Amino acid sequence: MSKVNIKNKKASFEYHLLDKFTAGIVLTGTEVKALRDGKASIAEAYCLFINDELWVRNMHIAEYDPGSYNNHPPLRDRKLLLQQKELQKLSKKMTNKGLTIVPIRLYFSESGYAKLDIALAQGKKLHDKRDSIKDKDIKRTLDRAMKQ
């Protein structure tokens, strides 16, 4: 089985990740095949509630080349599958101002199902982003010093 592991590196830089969940995702056949090839991006994606169901929007899954007329639209909204308790918890917390739900990681579970790790997130201020950059630079210089 292929090791598909698509990450949203921008999420941890742009947001404080408060609470994490793992959700199943409803996909069509050509979407699954394109995902197994690793042709997806979750960098611009976000989650929202529509009729008490959680959906992911702007997740790009490229068209599957041999799919012909059965192909899917690359940016369609996709339904996320969570337990009812988790959905209620998320919808209750979404009433707070400044919170959003962002996808962090897209992968296939051991049983072969596509899974999406999502997080309840709060946007960082500019000075927080500067601190993140500074911490990353310090870590990089320490790693370089340890190598030499």
Q: Is the pTM of this model over 0.85?
A: no
Tell me the one-letter amino acid at 129.
Answer: K
All structural domains of the chain: 5-147 (2.40.280.10)
**In whole angstroms, what is the distance from residue 37 CA to residue 30 CA?**
11
pLDDT reported for residue 125: 83
- Predicted confidence at residue 141, as pLDDT, reads 92
pLDDT at 1: 47
Q: To which residue do tokens 């500019």 refer?
A: 126
What confidence score (pLDDT) does residue 81 get? Answer: 92
Running along the chain, 148 residues long, what does each successive block of 10 average in pLDDT? 78 86 90 87 89 90 82 86 90 84 91 91 84 88 89
